[in-house]
């Protein structure tokens, strides 16, 4: 039989170009011999030479070879065929593209090669050769050829490649081919013969490291998950497949599996005890994904940690991982310097770990858990970012509830919002079906029945929700339709007071300092603000005394919104008599024996009063304008914003036909902040670096420092158009310069806001004349912050500042063309 092939080959190679008849004979002979596998070594060499000459003739010869030459590539040995085709496709390096090259036939043959499943045949061939110890260089070339095929084709055709060579089409095909090869391997293992899988692993690894995990694994993972469900040979094959991936590609493969697997149990079936056997995989799973990177979704974390928890060998790693996570979580340096997103990621990982731990395991490391918890909660609560504080509280609560099953547990007060609930839900073991997004289309069917309970449940939920909404609307419509009774004014409907509020400021002082009558005291606190505003002259006589009383006023009885009432009264006093009261308050900020709360109250009052003074007044009423700073007193008047939004929407949809200004002119008036800005500002700058026995701004009390810096930024912003602004800007720049390397990101944010305020408030000429050096230094610092700061907000603020600087430069260039 082989002789027929031999003679056909010899005949075909004899002439300059093989004739159609010779090729036909070769095909017949090959088919009769039972496929390319039957060829001997010499025959293979000859066949290779024939294919190369055919490919060269097709690409560069005067005309295409005659006869069924394309079929020779598809039916011949796949390794030889692919290398011959790739050789013809690629130009010799350095050669100028020749005009006469015909690439179309070559690409067509390649397309047939890929479509007719020759990739699987190719990989299977290499696997068999490897088992017998085939040449390594050829395998490497084939590996590169298979993985880079889309790129090669695209490069030769300058991008006009057929759809099958688009990565999103090619790699799923390759995935299917891998599954086919694995089937062959499984069959041969069952037949008792040995087989090497490493070429398939290499293909997989290389594809993954080229960033095509999504395409190839979207085919592979569901199929393998299905096949490994009950078959232990398939499980072994799958484990082997991953284990044989070369070290340098291991990370990409593991990451792909972790991201694609629909659940921890599937992942465990697919990877086996890879992390125990392979050092690289262990490093990637236990260190890199958890501690060094933080961009993955919660589902990935759940997969990963669930995988670790599913086998007794791996559970030891789980505990180790938890310890390492806790170490990071409780390290004050990590809390200070790592971005908030990473801290959230680590917290999530800790919570998921805790959910997997069993009673005896917790017992074994209870002491360590307790120690890390105490340390971690301390440095989290110390942080000035509310988000970090809350993370610390939630994690600490969770740890404490895990280690003290019977005793008292930690309980913090924090706002129970969606994020907190999501974090807490991680403590409950996730259901075995965990939905990984972006499941590929072609495996939706098999996924669908597994996920049936989940989807039906959610369907039901959304359904009920929908009907609920409908019924609500219906009832609304019904009620609105005939409820045409117009209401009377009900603004006078206020809470009934038992005692009358005092009418004179001096009475208020008496009540607030000495009275034991709580009703009267309450009424006074509630009435004070309006009294002060109504009687400015009377207030001025006692303003400092009143400010002192208010600063020390403590909640005697439980009044709703006491803090706000007191603050509004303080603001009223300060606006009515700014200079003495501001002097008093700023001097008290740096004096002994105040609580941090009181000091921060002082700052808030200064800001609010400055805001009120600097905005124009309309008929004695203060217009409520958007706050310049979002971080002070959040959420006190955001609920009224809907009115503004609605008005704006109406304005945008309304066409006005009248000419001229349709808007009423904004009322103008003297800026009352002008004459007093300095009294608000400079005393606050004076003593920040002098620690008192109870108050150390540069040390432990950095939260107050953060508030102080933010306050200064707002005051600076509000001082726009005042006389003192240039001096203030200069002083503030110096202040910022002294603190620019502060470790607390909240302080740094404040400093960056200060710079923004300076740039916005101080006139451009003054900036240039008086602060050139400072500006240049600041600019280089800002550049550093943009590149290196771990806090995202800081980076953003710094970038904004740079933009402001840039604008400033443009403005100057425009006015002074140099």
Partner 1 sequence: MAAPPPDPQFVLRGTSAAVHALHFSCGGQEPDVPILFSGSENGLINVWNLKTRRVDKALDGHGRKSVCWVETMDGKDRLLSQGRDQRICLWDLAEGRTSVMDSVFTESVGFCRCSLLKVAQGRWLMAMAAKALDEVQVLELPSKTSVCTLKPEAGAKLGMPMCLKLWQISCDSQPLLLSGYEDGSVVLWNLSMGKVLSQLFCHQEPVMSLDFDSEKAKGISGSSEKVLSIWSLNEQQNLQVHTTHRLVNAGISDITIRPDKKILATAGWDHRIRVFGWKKLKPLAVLDYHTATVHCVSFSDHKNPSERLLAAGSKDHRISIWSIYTQT
CB of 488 to partner 1, least distance (A): 4
What token pair was written down for 764?
Answer: 């451009």
Q: Closer CB to partner 1, residue 406 or residue 492?
A: 492
CB of 817 to partner 1, least distance (A): 57
Q: Closer CB to partner 1, residue 3 or residue 486?
A: 486
Give, in degrees to the nearest 5, the angle at Cα 299 between 293 and 304: 65
CB of 346 to partner 1, least distance (A): 44
Q: Closer CB to partner 1, residue 446 or residue 472?
A: 472
CB of 788 to partner 1, least distance (A): 53
Beta bridge partners of 617: 622
Q: Which stretch binds partner 1 (CB under 8 A): 90-98, 217-225, 492-500, 559-567?
A: 492-500
Q: Which stretch binds partner 1 (CB under 8 A): 49-57, 373-381, 487-495, 581-589?
A: 487-495
Compute the distance between CA of residue 416 and CA of residue 394 in angstroms, rounded to an integer.
10
Q: Closer CB to partner 1, residue 358 or residue 498?
A: 498
| Helix H or strand E segment including 163 | none
Return the sign of the alpha-carbon dihedral for residues 150, 152, 155, 158.
Answer: negative
Q: Closer CB to partner 1, residue 158 or residue 643?
A: 643
H runs (alpha helix) in 330-382: 332-337, 340-356, 359-364, 366-382
Q: Closer CB to partner 1, residue 455 or residue 471?
A: 471
Question: What residues between 728 and 787 interact with partner 1 by CB under 8 A?
Answer: none
What token pair was written down for 738?
Answer: 């002294």
Closest listed residue to residue 412, CA positions, set 377, 369, 384, 366: 377
Strand, coil or helix: 622: strand
Q: Which stretch binds partner 1 (CB under 8 A): 317-325, 336-344, 488-496, 504-512?
A: 488-496
> DSSP characters for 46-75?
HHHHHHHHHHHHHHHSSSPPSSSHHHHHHH
Q: Is 418 in the site for partner 1 (CB under 8 A)?
A: no
Q: Closer CB to partner 1, residue 484 or residue 516?
A: 484
Q: Closer CB to partner 1, residue 232 or residue 490?
A: 490
Helix (H) and strand (E) counts in the chain = 40, 2
> DSSP characters for 636-654?
SSGGGHHHHHHHHHHHHH-
Residue owning tokens 């592979």 = 220
Q: Which residues contact 69 (CB under 8 A, 6 or more apart)?
A: 18, 23, 54, 58
Binding residue for partner 1 (CB under 8 A) from 137, 194, 493, 626? 493
Q: Closer CB to partner 1, residue 639 or residue 693?
A: 639
Binding residue for partner 1 (CB under 8 A) from 97, 159, 487, 514? 487
H runs (alpha helix) in 554-614: 562-576, 578-589, 596-614
Q: Closer CB to partner 1, residue 488 or residue 657?
A: 488
Q: Closer CB to partner 1, residue 442 or residue 478?
A: 478
CB of 474 to partner 1, least distance (A): 13
Tally the residues of the chain.
818
CB of 494 to partner 1, least distance (A): 7
Q: Closer CB to partner 1, residue 193 or residue 471?
A: 471
Q: Closer CB to partner 1, residue 491 or residue 818?
A: 491
| Helix H or strand E segment including 250 | helix 247-260
Question: What residues between 581 and 620 interact with partner 1 by CB under 8 A?
Answer: none
CA distances from 240 to 185, 186, 234, 264 (A): 12, 12, 10, 19
Q: Closer CB to partner 1, residue 483 or residue 626?
A: 483
Q: Is 91 exposed, middle or buried (0-12, 13-18, 19+ CB in 10 A)?
A: middle
Beta bridge partners of 622: 617
Compute the distance between CA of residue 263 and CA of residue 641 in angstroms, rounded to an integer.
44
Q: Which residues contact 276 (CB under 8 A, 6 or more apart)?
A: 282, 313, 314, 317
Size of the site for partner 1 (CB under 8 A): 17
Q: Closer CB to partner 1, residue 415 or residue 480?
A: 480
Give, in degrees to the nearest 5, the angle at Cα 312 between 307 and 318: 55
Site string for partner 1, 457-486 (x = CB under 8 A): ---------------------xxx-xxxxx
Binding residue for partner 1 (CB under 8 A) from 194, 359, 441, 489? 489
CB of 492 to partner 1, least distance (A): 6
> What is the chain's alpha carbon radius of gyration, rounded to the nearest angstrom?
38
CB of 560 to partner 1, least distance (A): 13
Strand, coil or helix: 617: strand
Binding residue for partner 1 (CB under 8 A) from 496, 558, 592, 645? 496
Q: Closer CB to partner 1, residue 496 or residue 666?
A: 496
CB of 484 to partner 1, least distance (A): 7
Task: Let me know: does 423 contact 347? Beta carbons within 8 Å.
Answer: yes
CB of 483 to partner 1, least distance (A): 5
Q: Closer CB to partner 1, residue 136 or residue 479?
A: 479
Binding residue for partner 1 (CB under 8 A) from 137, 194, 359, 495? 495
Binding residue for partner 1 (CB under 8 A) from 490, 592, 645, 664? 490
H runs (alpha helix) in 668-791: 677-686, 702-718, 725-739, 745-761, 764-770, 772-788
Q: Which residues contact 389 (CB under 8 A, 6 or more apart)?
A: 380, 381, 383, 414
Q: Which residues contact 387 (CB under 8 A, 6 or more apart)?
A: 340, 344
CB of 521 to partner 1, least distance (A): 20
Backbone angle region of 721, left / alpha / beta, with phi > 0 → left and psi within -120 to 50 → alpha = left
CB of 462 to partner 1, least distance (A): 25
CB of 557 to partner 1, least distance (A): 17
Compute the distance between CA of residue 501 and CA of residue 521 in angstroms, rounded to an integer.
9
CB of 664 to partner 1, least distance (A): 19
CB of 517 to partner 1, least distance (A): 21
For helices 772-788 and 792-815, give the axis angle rounded to 10 degrees. 140
Q: Is 560 in the site for partner 1 (CB under 8 A)?
A: no
CB of 499 to partner 1, least distance (A): 15
Question: What residues between 661 and 700 interact with partner 1 by CB under 8 A?
Answer: none
Binding residue for partner 1 (CB under 8 A) from 158, 494, 653, 656? 494
Q: Which stretch binds partner 1 (CB under 8 A): 489-497, 518-526, 578-586, 624-632?
A: 489-497
Binding residue for partner 1 (CB under 8 A) from 16, 488, 626, 670? 488
Compute the distance between CA of residue 296 and CA of residue 299 in angstroms, rounded to an integer.
8
Q: Is 492 in the site for partner 1 (CB under 8 A)?
A: yes
HEC string of 507-534 equals HHHHHHHHCCCHHHHHHHHHHHHHHHHH
Q: Closer CB to partner 1, residue 477 or residue 816?
A: 477
CB of 495 to partner 1, least distance (A): 6
CB of 470 to partner 1, least distance (A): 18
End-to-end CA distance of the chain: 91
Q: Which residues bind partner 1 (CB under 8 A)?
A: 478-480, 482-490, 492-496
């Amino acid at each position: 039989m082989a002789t027929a092939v031999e003679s056909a080959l010899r005949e075909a190679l004899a002439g300059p170009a093989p004739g159609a008849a010779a090729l036909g004979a070769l095909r017949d002979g090959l088919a009769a011999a039972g496929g390319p596998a039957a060829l001997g070594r010499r025959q293979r060499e000859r066949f290779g030479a024939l294919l190369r000459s055919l490919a060269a003739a097709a690409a560069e010869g005067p005309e295409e070879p005659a006869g069924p030459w394309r079929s020779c590539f598809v039916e011949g040995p796949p390794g030889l065929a692919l290398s011959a085709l790739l050789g013809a496709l690629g130009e010799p390096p350095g050669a100028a593209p020749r005009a006469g090259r015909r690439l179309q036939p070559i690409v067509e043959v390649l397309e047939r090669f890929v479509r007719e499943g020759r990739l699987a045949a190719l990989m299977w061939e290499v696997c068999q050769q490897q088992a017998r110890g085939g040449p390594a260089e050829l395998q490497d070339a084939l590996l590169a050829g298979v993985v880079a095929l889309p790129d090669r084709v695209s490069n030769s055709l300058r991008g006009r490649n057929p759809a099958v060579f688009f990565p999103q089409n090619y790699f799923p095909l390759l995935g299917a081919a891998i599954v086919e090869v694995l089937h062959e391997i499984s069959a041969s293992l069952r037949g008792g013969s040995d087989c090497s899988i490493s070429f398939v692993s290499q293909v997989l690894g290389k594809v993954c490291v080229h960033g095509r995990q999504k395409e190839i694994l979207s085919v592979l993972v569901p199929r393998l998950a299905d096949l490994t469900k009950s078959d232990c040979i398939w499980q072994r094959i799958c484990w082997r497949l991953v284990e044989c991936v070369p070290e340098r590609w291991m990370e990409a493969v593991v990451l792909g599996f972790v991201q694609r697997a629909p659940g921890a149990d599937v992942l465990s079936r697919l990877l086996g005890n890879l992390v125990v056997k392979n050092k690289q995989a262990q490093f990637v799973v236990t260190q890199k994904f958890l501690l060094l990177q933080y961009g993955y979704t919660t589902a990935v974390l759940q997969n990963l940690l669930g995988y670790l928890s599913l086998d007794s060998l791996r559970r030891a790693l789980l505990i180790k991982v938890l310890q390492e996570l806790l170490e990071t979580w409780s390290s004050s340096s990590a809390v200070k310097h790592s971005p908030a997103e990473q801290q959230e990621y680590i917290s999530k990982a800790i919570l998921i770990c805790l959910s997997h731990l069993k009673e005896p395991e917790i017992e074994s490391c209870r002491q360590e858990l307790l120690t890390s918890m105490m340390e971690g909660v301390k440095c989290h609560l110390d942080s000035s970012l509310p988000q970090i504080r809350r993370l610390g509280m939630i994690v600490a609560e969770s740890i404490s509830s895990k280690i003290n099953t019977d005793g008292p547990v930690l309980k913090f007060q924090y706002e129970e919002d969606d994020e907190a609930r999501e974090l807490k839900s991680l403590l409950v073991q996730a259901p075995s079906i965990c939905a990984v997004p972006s499941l590929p289309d072609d495996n939706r069917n098999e996924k669908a029945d597994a996920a049936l309970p989940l989807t039906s449940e959610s369907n039901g939920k959304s359904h009920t929700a929908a009907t609920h909404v409908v019924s609500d609307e219906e009832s609304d419509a019904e009620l609105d339709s005939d409820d045409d009774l117009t209401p009377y004014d009900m603004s006078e409907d206020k809470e009934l007071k038992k005692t009358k509020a005092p009418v004179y400021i001096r009475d208020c002082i008496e009540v607030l300092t000495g009275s034991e009558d709580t009703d009267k005291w309450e009424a006074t606190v509630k009435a004070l603000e309006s009294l002060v505003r109504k009687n400015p002259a009377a207030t001025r006589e006692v303003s400092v005394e009143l400010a002192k009383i208010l600063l020390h006023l403590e909640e005697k009885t439980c009044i709703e919104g006491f803090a706000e009432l007191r603050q509004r009264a303080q603001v009223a006093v300060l606006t009515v008599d700014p200079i003495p009261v501001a002097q008093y308050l700023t001097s008290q900020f740096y004096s002994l024996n105040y609580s941090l709360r009181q000091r921060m109250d002082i700052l808030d009052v200064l800001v609010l009063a400055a805001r009120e003074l600097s905005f124009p007044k309309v008929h004695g009423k203060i217009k409520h304008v958007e706050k310049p700073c979002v971080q002070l007193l959040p959420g006190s008047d955001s609920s009224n914003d809907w009115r503004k939004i609605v008005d704006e929407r109406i304005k945008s949809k309304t066409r006005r036909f009248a000419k001229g200004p349709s808007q009423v002119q904004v009322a103008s008036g003297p800026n009352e902040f002008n004459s007093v800005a300095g009294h608000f500002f400079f005393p606050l700058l004076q003593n920040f670096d002098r620690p008192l026995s109870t108050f150390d701004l540069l040390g432990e009390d950095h939260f107050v420092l953060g508030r102080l810096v933010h306050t200064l930024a707002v005051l600076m912003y509000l001082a726009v158009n005042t006389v003192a602004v240039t001096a203030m800007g200069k002083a503030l720049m110096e202040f910022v310069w002294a603190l620019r390397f502060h470790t607390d990101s909240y302080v740094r944010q404040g400093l960056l806001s200060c710079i923004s305020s300076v740039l916005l408030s101080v006139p451009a000429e003054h900036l240039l004349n008086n602060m050139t050096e400072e500006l240049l230094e600041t600019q280089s610092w800002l550049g550093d912050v943009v590149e290196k700061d771990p806090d995202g907000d800081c980076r953003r603020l710094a970038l904004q500042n740079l933009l402001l600087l840039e604008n400033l430069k443009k403005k100057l260039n425009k006015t002074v063309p140099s």
